[in-house]
């Protein structure tokens, strides 16, 4: 068996030359086709004490191009993990992960000790100016067409924690993109590019001869044919020894409640010690463009063979003991995948295929390499079959059809996803719908194809991108939805255009014509057209467009209970669901919510929610209409909303005749809002401009002057507030910020407030210090008199965060808007000075100003290293806050309280930060004097305040992928 591959290789070369000749003579498009050739010899030794590789590499580079080469671009991709300024690190940040950016030296990786030589002389190496993982090797003498050059170099490599595709997790190793490698030179020129997480590979075809030295008790899974007969025999029989092996792991497994809970120390203690002896494993492989290997002391191995029409293939799967339940059928999945793709596209040309289960530092994915794939994560059953099949399928669409994945990702990912779905349909009768976005919703309301629904939703709001684009230009969501999903739907449309039989033979022809070569999109098009004798121009052009692949259908109106995501391309749903609300006056409100919100978003949206108030026995409610215009750079929304609810009542202390009196508010708010996006869709920054008019009709108490028969009645007052808001927000994963200017104009005043928020990350994750700065200025539009000051006191700039009464536009939710006692009275909102303490029962709240006011608020997690709460086994999200502020009066009258006011204490947020409770501990004497004089008992509880922020339940806050 050990020699099968040599036969295979010869056979392959024979077929290759046959096809080469065939296409030279028969195919116009390949008439001038050429490609470079690279042969690798690598000796590599794993040092599992410091997680490093020591290696020596010898490359023979053959120049088949018609050009004389003076240099060769080389990829040193392990250097992508060297610091936080690499293209890789920048991209992770842009995609919302700051783990690598804040990782320590220990978690990072690099390649060094390089000494590139030709003919035993060190050659000149020029560092690429932008990327530390790209270099240019200057050839001492020009490399003529059809000439070859031998290049050697030693290298040492520190493996990073596996945060992207390779590295190590404890003493398990994933050696991928691990050796110095020439960039591709083809008819379009050189293709040097940095390593990226989002964006794959493009490499020259050739051969590999690799010696891997590891401590003896490691099991290695690698690309290619293992030449050590004894080791190969051992791998083939490990499966039948599984029960024996498993017995060895019983103790290990018993200690594994959940692998994720393992502490590093525990894991290493449990891991068998590395044997002091080493072994060297020899692998060879021909007609491929990459080589990857994986090593673990704990691999369980399954082995079987797949019989294809021309040869037999050794199939292996490697996994760790805790994956036994999920992976016990894994080699079967590998076999089925090889059979399916061989039937659909073309026969698998190699004699070996493997799937390896591997650890990562948090992410979950599958990744393809020639003859071997790495599967990470915790999928099982059809899910695992799906991902193994996808990755094995890449042997065809990437491995054998060696497209430029970085520039034309759909050619491997889109096409491969199409075949993966076909495989699932054939084997299981259904494809799995990833319910990530819609988890927990009843099945009969879910979309048939969730990814398609998300794709169409992005297209509708003009946030989609063309299929044919370089990988790095996609937003993270579009990389998934456009490259994989739309790419696969595109191929499905080609299948529909040609019919199944013709489509299959076209794909076979494409495979035969382009295997072991570098086809470009136009080569694919030419191949399909020449086989089918049909033009695919119309469909091909859709690769460059952002529009839907599907013609819009005329939609029918349909009533549905709750909501519905099914067939939203056919129906405009009007959804009816029960609604509930509450406040201190209306008590519980029950009613209906009727709306037409759906995905893809409508241009015209409405919602109406009549609510019956059980407290006041009246009909309240909310209604909203909006019309939206989505364009690439902006989202323009015209809207009007209306609300009616109760916001105050007489209490026992107020003498009234007859029934208790309730005050209501009616509010109508016309608005025009435009959100402006950066030209680059990947940008996390956006601008908002909004103009609103708050048309308020508020009830007020009227007290009679009759002291014998005191009567309280009410009357309604109209107030208009005009508001202009300008804002910029950047939700980037480090140092996100948010700034806005809000100008409110009433009958007698203008009030301008500028708020700036900036978040200082402490490290990876979401811990950090939030800084908020507020500066406000108040102007009277009437002569500044005592009367006018009194009349407009409600609109003053506040040091203390406003209560419900001061929320004069009724923009925030308040449980008890006008309460002066009870827990409801302790609610505040984030605005102005945002102090957590106040003097609400005084005529003028301390710090309030009708001139100017400034405040700085700091809040943040207690840094992990000094946090005493770390002794608890669960995370307590306790934060500290400090507020400091001043206003105009403090600088004019030299008040006894001093120029600055302050407070500080603890805050705790719950329900995704919807509710935050503040416990002030230190504060200015004006506040402590107030608490002492007003509250005889329970003084501490009167200082506690809380805020409610319902914005966190907005769609785009719940799911950040919704790009609003």
In the complex with Zn ion, which residue's Cβ is closer, 372 or 611?
372
Convert residues 707-726 into a mask of x (bound to Zn ion by CB under 5 A) and - (unbound): --------------------
Residue 85: count other Cβ atoms within 10 Å of its Cβ: 11
What is the DSSP secondary-structure string of 617-646?
TEEEEEEEEEEEEE-SSEEEEEEEEEEEEE
First vs last C-alpha separation in the chain = 59
Nearest to 627 by CA among 602, 599, 609: 602
Choose between 348 and 398: whose C-beta lies nearer to Zn ion.
398
**286 vs 413, beta carbon nearer Zn ion:** 413
Cβ proximity to Zn ion, 370 vs 838, nearer residue: 370
Q: Which is nearer to Zn ion, 290 or 413 (CB)?
A: 413
**How far is it, in rounded angstroms, from Cα 732 to Cα 740?**
17
CB of 561 to Zn ion, least distance (A): 39
Nearer to Zn ion, 413 or 422 (CB): 413
Q: Which residues, 6 or more positions from 749, have their beta carbon under 8 angstroms from its beta carbon?
A: 778, 779, 780, 781, 792, 795
Q: How far is Cα 212 from Cα 222, in angstroms, rounded to an integer?
A: 9
User: In angstroms, rounded to a whole number, what is the distance separating the alpha carbons of residues 61 and 59?
Assistant: 6
Nearer to Zn ion, 413 or 796 (CB): 413
Site for Zn ion in 401-430 (CB under 5 A): 413
Interacting positions 852-881 with Zn ion (CB under 5 A): none
Smallest separation, CB 394 to Zn ion (Å): 6
* Residues of this chain, 596-655, that bind Zn ion according to CB under 5 A: none
- Asked if residues 406 and 471 have their Cβ atoms less than 8 Å apart, the reply is yes
Closest CA to 900 of 851, 859, 856: 856
51: left (phi over 0), alpha (psi -120 to 50) or beta: left
- What does the buried/exposed string (b/e) look like for 516-534 if buried means 16 or more CB atoms within 10 Å of the residue's CB? bbbbbbebbbbbbbbbbee
Least separation, in Å, of the C-beta of 524 and Zn ion?
A: 17
Kindly provide the residue ranges of all beta strands, DSSP E only, lying in 836-961, ordered along the sequence. 852-861, 878-887, 901-910, 915-923, 945-948
Rounded to the nearest whole angstrom, what is the least distance from the CB of residue 276 to Zn ion in the complex? 40
Tell me if the bond preceding 600 is cis, omega within 30° of 0: yes
User: What does the alpha-carbon distance between residue 379 and residue 730 come to, in Å, rounded to a whole number?
Assistant: 35
Q: What is the dihedral of CA 557, 562, 564, 565, to 10 degrees?
A: 140
Q: How far is the CB of 414 from Zn ion (least distance, A)?
A: 9
Residue closer to Zn ion, measured from CB, 177 or 907: 177
Nearest to 461 by CA among 630, 676, 603: 630
CA-nearest of 361, 313, 311 to 337 is: 313
Q: Under a CB-based contact definition with an 8 Å cutoff, are residues 831 and 814 in contact?
A: no
**Smaller CB separation from Zn ion, 416 or 826:** 416
Residue (204 or 413) nearer to Zn ion, CB: 413
Token pair in block for residue 103? 């990782």
Cα–chain-centroid distance for residue 589?
38
Write down the least CB distance from residue 487 to Zn ion, Å.
Answer: 10
Nearer to Zn ion among residue 368 and residue 903 (C-beta)? 368
Q: What is the DSSP string of 463-512?
A: ----SSS-GGGS-HHHIIIIIIIIHHHHHHHHHHHH-HHHHHHHHHHHHH
Q: How many residues contact Zn ion, by CB under 5 A?
A: 1
Cβ atoms of 210 and 295 closer than 8 Å: no
**Residue 393 Cβ vs Zn ion, minimum distance, rounded to whole Å:** 8
The least distance separating Zn ion from the CB of residue 408, rounded to whole angstroms, comes to: 14
Greatest Cα pair distance, the chain, in angstroms, is 115
- Compute the residue count for the chain: 964
Shortest distance, position 367 Cβ to Zn ion, whole Å: 8
813: Cβ contacts below 8 Å, ≥ 6 apart: 948, 950
What are the strands, taking DSSP E only, across 14-133?
37-47, 52-62, 69-75, 110-112, 117-118, 121-122, 125-127
CB of 391 to Zn ion, least distance (A): 7
Helix/strand/coil for 371: coil
Tell me whether residue 490 or residue 774 sits nearer to Zn ion (CB atom).
490
Which among 59, 347, 403 is positioned nearest to 207, based on CA atoms?
Answer: 59
Q: Which is nearer to Zn ion, 393 or 847 (CB)?
A: 393
Residue 697: other Cβ atoms inside 10 A = 14
Tell me whether residue 486 or residue 667 sits nearer to Zn ion (CB atom).
486
CB 164 → Zn ion: shortest distance, Å? Answer: 15
857, 771 Cβ separation under 8 angstroms: yes
Question: What tokens appear for 798 in the block?
Answer: 């506040």
Residue with nearest beta carbon to Zn ion = 413
| Closer Cβ to Zn ion, 413 or 744, answer by number | 413
Name the minimum Å distance from CB 381 to Zn ion: 20
- Phi and psi (nearest 5°) for 467? -65, -40
**Alpha-carbon distances, residue 948 vs 728, 773, 824 (angstroms):** 23, 20, 11
We find the least distance from the C-beta atom of residue 769 to Zn ion, in angstroms, to be: 40
Shortest Å distance, C-beta 450 to Zn ion: 18
Q: Per the structure block, which two tokens stand in for 348? A: 């698998």
Q: What are phi and psi for residue 917, nearest 5 degrees?
A: -110, 135
CA–CA separation, 387 and 375 (whole Å): 8
Closer by beta carbon to Zn ion, 137 or else 388: 388
In whole angstroms, the minimum distance from the beta carbon of 562 to Zn ion comes to 36
In the complex with Zn ion, which residue's Cβ is closer, 382 or 809? 382
Residue 12, H or E segment:
helix 4-26
257-276: which residues touch Zn ion (CB under 5 A)?
none
Take residue 58 and report the two structure tokens written for it: 């010898």
Q: Which is nearer to Zn ion, 137 or 355 (CB)?
A: 355
Distance in Å, CB of 296 to Zn ion, minimum = 23
Minimum distance, C-beta of residue 901 to Zn ion, in the bound complex (Å): 58
Distance of closest approach, residue 416 Cβ to Zn ion, in angstroms:
5
Contact residues: Zn ion, CB under 5 A: 413
């Amino acid at each position: 068996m050990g020699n099968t591959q040599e036969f295979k290789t010869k056979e392959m070369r024979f077929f290759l030359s046959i096809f080469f000749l065939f296409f030279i003579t028969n195919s116009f498009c390949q008439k001038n086709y050429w490609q470079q050739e690279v042969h690798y010899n690598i000796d590599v030794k794993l040092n599992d004490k410091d997680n490093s590789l020591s290696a020596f590499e010898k490359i023979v580079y053959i120049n088949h191009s018609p050009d004389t080469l003076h240099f060769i671009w080389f990829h040193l991709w392990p250097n992508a993990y060297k610091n936080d300024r690499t293209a890789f690190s920048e991209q992770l940040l842009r995609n919302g992960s700051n783990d690598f950016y804040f990782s320590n030296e220990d978690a990072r990786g690099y390649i060094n000790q390089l000494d590139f030589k030709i003919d035993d002389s060190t050659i000149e190496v020029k560092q690429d100016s932008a990327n530390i993982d790209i270099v240019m090797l200057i050839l001492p003498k020009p490399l003529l067409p059809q000439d070859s050059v031998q290049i050697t170099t030693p290298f040492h490599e520190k493996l990073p924690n596996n945060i992207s595709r390779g590295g190590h997790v404890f003493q398990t190793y994933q050696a991928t993109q691990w050796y110095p490698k020439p960039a591709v030179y083809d008819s379009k020129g050189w293709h040097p590019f940095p390593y990226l997480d989002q964006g794959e590979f493009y490499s020259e075809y050739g051969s590999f001869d690799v010696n891997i030295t590891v401590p003896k008790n490691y099991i290695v899974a690698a690309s290619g044919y293992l030449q050590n007969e004894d080791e190969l025999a051992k791998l083939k029989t490990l499966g039948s020894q599984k029960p024996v092996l498993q017995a060895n792991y019983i103790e290990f497994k018993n200690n594994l409640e959940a692998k994720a809970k393992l502490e590093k120390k525990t894991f290493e203690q449990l891991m068998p010690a590395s044997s002091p002896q080493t072994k060297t494993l020899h692998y060879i492989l021909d007609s491929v463009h990459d080589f990857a290997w994986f090593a673990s002391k704990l691999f369980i191995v399954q082995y079987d063979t797949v019989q294809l029409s021309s040869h037999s293939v050794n199939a292996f799967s490697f996994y760790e003991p805790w994956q036994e339940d999920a992976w016990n059928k894994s080699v079967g999945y590998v076999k089925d995948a090889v059979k399916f793709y061989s039937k659909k596209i073309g026969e698998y040309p190699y004699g070996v295929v493997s799937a390896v289960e591997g650890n990562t530092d948090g992410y979950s994915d599958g990744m393809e390499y020639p003859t071997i794939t790495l599967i990470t994560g915790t999928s099982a059953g059809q899910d695992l079959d799906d991902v193994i099949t996808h990755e094995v399928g890449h042997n065809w669409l990437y491995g054998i059809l060696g497209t430029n994945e970085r520039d034309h990702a759909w050619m491997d990912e889109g096409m491969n996803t199409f075949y993966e779905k076909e495989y699932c349909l054939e084997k299981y009768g259904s494809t799995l719908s990833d319910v990530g976005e819609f988890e927990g919703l009843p099945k009969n309301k879910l979309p048939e194809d969730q990814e398609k629904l998300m794709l169409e939703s992005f297209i509708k709001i003009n946030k989609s991108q063309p299929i044919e684009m370089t990988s790095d230009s996609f937003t993270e969501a579009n990389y998934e939805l456009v490259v994989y999903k739309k790419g696969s739907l595109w191929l499905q449309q080609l299948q529909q255009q040609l019919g199944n039989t013709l489509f299959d033979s076209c794909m076979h022809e494409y495979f035969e014509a382009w295997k072991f070569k570098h086809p470009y999109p136009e080569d694919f098009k030419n191949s399909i057209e020449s086989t089918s004798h049909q033009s695919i121009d119309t469909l091909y052009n859709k690769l460059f467009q952002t529009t839907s692949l599907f013609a819009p259908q005329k939609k029918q109106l349909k009533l549905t209970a709750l909501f519905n995501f099914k067939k939203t391309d056919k129906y405009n749903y009007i959804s009816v669901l029960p609604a509930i609300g509450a406040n201190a006056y209306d008590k519980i409100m029950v009613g209906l919510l009727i709306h037409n919100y759906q995905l893809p978003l409508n241009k015209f949206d409405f919602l109406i929610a009549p609510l019956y108030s059980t407290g006041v026995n009246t009909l309240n409610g909310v209604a909203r209409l909006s019309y939206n215009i989505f364009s690439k750079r902006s989202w323009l929304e015209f809207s009007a909303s209306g609300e009616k609810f109760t916001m105050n009542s007489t209490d026992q202390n107020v003498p009234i005749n007859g029934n208790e009196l309730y005050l209501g508010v009616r509010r109508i708010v016309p608005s025009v809002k435009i959100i402006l996006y950066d030209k680059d869709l990947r940008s996390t920054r956006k601008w908002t401009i909004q103009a609103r008019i708050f048309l308020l009709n508020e009830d007020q108490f009227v007290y009679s002057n009759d002291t014998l028969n005191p009567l309280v009645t009410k009357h309604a007052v109209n107030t208009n507030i005009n508001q202009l808001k300008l804002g910029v927000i950047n939700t980037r994963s480090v140092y996100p910020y948010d700034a806005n200017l809000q100008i409110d104009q009433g009958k007698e005043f203008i009030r301008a407030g500028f708020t700036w928020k900036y978040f200082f990350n402490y490290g990876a994750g979401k811990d950090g210090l939030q800084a908020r700065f507020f500066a406000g200025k108040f102007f009277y539009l009437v002569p500044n008199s005592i009367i006018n000051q009194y009349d407009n006191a409600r609109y003053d700039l506040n040091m203390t965060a406003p209560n419900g009464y001061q929320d004069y536009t009724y923009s925030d939710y308040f449980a008890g808007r006008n309460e002066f006692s009870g827990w409801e009275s302790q609610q505040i909102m984030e605005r102005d000075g945002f102090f957590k303490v106040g003097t609400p029962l005084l005529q003028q709240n301390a710090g309030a100003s009708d001139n100017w006011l400034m405040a700085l608020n700091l809040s943040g997690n207690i840094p992990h290293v000094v946090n005493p709460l770390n002794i608890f086994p669960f995370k307590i999200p306790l934060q500290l806050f400090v507020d400091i502020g001043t206003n105009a009066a403090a600088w004019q009258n030299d008040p006894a309280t001093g120029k600055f006011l302050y407070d500080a204490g603890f805050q705790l947020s719950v329900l995704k930060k919807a509710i935050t409770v503040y416990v002030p501990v230190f504060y200015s004497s004006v506040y402590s004097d107030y608490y002492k004089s007003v509250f005889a008992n329970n003084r501490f509880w009167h200082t506690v305040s809380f805020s409610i922020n319902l914005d966190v339940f907005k769609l785009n806050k719940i799911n950040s992928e919704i790009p609003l």
